[in-house]
Amino acid sequence: MTSLGRRVAPVIAALALMACAPALNWRDVRPEGSGAQLLFPCKPDAQERRVALAGPPVRLALHVCEAAGQTWALAWADVADPTRVAPALAALQAGAAANVGARSAASAPQPVPGATPQATGGRTRLQGQRSDGQAVQMQTLVFARGTQVFQASVLGAALSEEAAEVYFSAIRFPP
């Protein structure tokens, strides 16, 4: 597949999916300060807070929205030190599992165009429970670009594999 084909394929898939799932209103989003470009199925709200992430507290930015009974999010932070990237990615994965009371699961590689390759990155599927005991499914993708670490996630009682695939495969860092 050509470079143009790889960039256009997620958009075509999203458009095809829109015809089947009117609750998902896919839009191109470029969260300020992230350098990333992705498709969200709803208009995300921006939030930020300070969190300890494999060392001293850092500013964690978050874009999040809800659509079709699922929560879609992209969080990122700059850990400033290249030696903190791998531990921060591992901490993001462990934190996601802990948030839904799931056992930590192995990640499957999923490259993000323009990201810095990391052995500790990848896509994880989790099954757990909400605080009220209700069953929940979660998929996350952790990746890095330089000293910035990212976690994309989708969470819901039941996840659409097709919608999750559109969401995760559309993430990229434009040249």
Tens-digit pLDDT profile for residues 111-167: 999 999 998 889 999 999 888 888 999 999 999 999 999 999 999 999 999 999 999
The three-state secondary structure class of 31 is coil
DSSP 106: P
Cβ burial, residue 142 (10 Å; 0-12/13-18/19+): buried
Judge whether residue 15 has pLDDT over 60. Answer: no
User: Is the pLDDT reported for residue 14 higher than 50?
Assistant: no
**Portion of the chain with pLDDT greater than 70, in percent:** 87
pLDDT band per the 50, 70, 90 thresholds, residue 18:
very low
Please tell me the pTM assigned to this model. 0.85
Q: Can you tell me whether residue 6 is helix, strand or coil?
A: helix
C-beta of residue 54 within 8 angstroms of C-beta of residue 66? no
164 phi and psi angles, rounded to 5 deg: -60, -40
Q: Is the pLDDT of residue 6 over 60?
A: no
Cite the DSSP H helix spans in 42-100: 85-99
The predicted pLDDT at position 90 comes to 93
Mean pLDDT score of the chain: 88
Give the N- to C-terminal CA distance of the chain in Å, as an integer: 18
What pLDDT score does 2 carry?
52
